[in-house]
Structure 1
């Protein structure tokens, strides 16, 4: 039996990806199955395999879509590293299903050309604000600085999602991230 959200016509790929996001939110990316995905989308059990090949193909498509959405989010920070970091954390919290797939290369095809391109675009968007970082006495190293900024934002987001931060950080991830990430820019 299918529900009112089942697929009837139009863009089956999009419907399958939407159902996959819902499933990842509910059961996580490891427990996702193509059979359950087909049931959620109201299509035959062969439909997901026809579009994505297998579970890794589906998760690769989700990761690619996630990196493109992350690029858009980071670009809206307009080169401000602090705001890009806050936007990164906000993305992780509000689009958790994507975030849980994007950084799990064992679940998707890390060598997929479209995924690699999407990762590159997201990396470039994050690096856009690195030029504004104070370097102090150290020579500027955009690659190193981008890795440091990403590591801090990603680490904070991961700790937030895991519920592993101390109670004193508050309950607003954007404001808590802004307080922590401000240390990068001062």
Structure 2
């Protein structure tokens, strides 16, 4: 008999990895806990036992996505100096390309439990870093309403990342990083 690939304590990671792979291959709608159990090499009841249901699993994947995004944002920070807003956006675009399954579920309110405490906390951590980057802009760049500027920055990064990820944005010979920095400069330049 072959050994099971699952080792006690790795169930969560194995199922989350299987979910990310399945979403990349076939999308969220085709995801089933039974298929994930097969992919992860665990009993068909194991994912449901650990996550409850498909929504619980997708909520955990979304929270993990926000944690990964926050880690990327934090890595762009230089202690003692405000984080560069354009660099955060570039990191968001890179994150969406590197973690397409996470990116899909993070913003799909139909498939996650939006009020889940872990998801809310992870989303809030990312939002605080974005807010700090907007606060680092000059008053002329961010305008009179910093919250509105943060919303604009988040929408710009998300929209650009979604267009790149779906193949609906042709940046030509330029890199997505370069184009995003240019677009950010157009929107958040001094008035």
Same fold (TM over 0.5): yes
Partner residue of 1:61? 60
Distance 1:166 1:139, change over 3 A: closer
**Where in structure 2 are there 5+ consecutive unaligned residues?**
78-82
The Cα offsets for residues 65-107 of structure 1, whole Å up to 9 and x where unpaired, read as 1111111111122111111111111111111110011000101
Partner residue of 1:147? 151
The Cα offsets for residues 10-47 of structure 1, whole Å up to 9 and x where unpaired, read as 32111111111111111112211101100000111100
Deviation at 1:177, TM superposition (A): 1.7
Partner residue of 1:175? 178
Distance 1:145 1:5, change over 3 A: farther
Q: State yes or no: 1:46 paired with 2:64.
A: no
Partner residue of 1:27? 26
What is the alpha-carbon distance in structure 1 between the residues aligned to residue 141 and residue 87 of structure 2?
Answer: 24
Contact 1:82 1:185 in 2 (8 A): no
Secondary structure at the aligned position of 1:128 is classed as helix
Counterparts of 1:1-186 in structure 2, within 5 Å, are 6-78=5-77, 79-136=83-140, 139-168=143-172, 170=173, 172-186=175-189
Give the count of matched residue pairs.
183
Deviation at 1:167, TM superposition (A): 5.0
What is the alpha-carbon distance in structure 2 between the residues aligned to residue 128 and residue 111 of structure 1?
Answer: 24
What is the alpha-carbon distance in structure 1 between the residues aligned to residue 47 and residue 94 of structure 2?
Answer: 30
Deviation at 1:166, TM superposition (A): 3.6
TM-score, structure 1 normalization: 0.90
Q: Say which is worse superposed, 138-147 or 154-163, in terms of deviation.
A: 138-147
Secondary structure at the aligned position of 2:140 is classed as coil
Distance 1:139 1:160, change over 3 A: closer
RMSD between aligned residues: 2.1
Contact 1:64 1:102 in 2 (8 A): yes
**Where in structure 1 are there 5+ consecutive unaligned residues?**
none
Secondary structure at the aligned position of 1:129 is classed as helix
Contact 2:134 2:150 in 1 (8 A): yes
Contact 1:5 1:41 in 2 (8 A): no
Contact 2:69 2:95 in 1 (8 A): yes
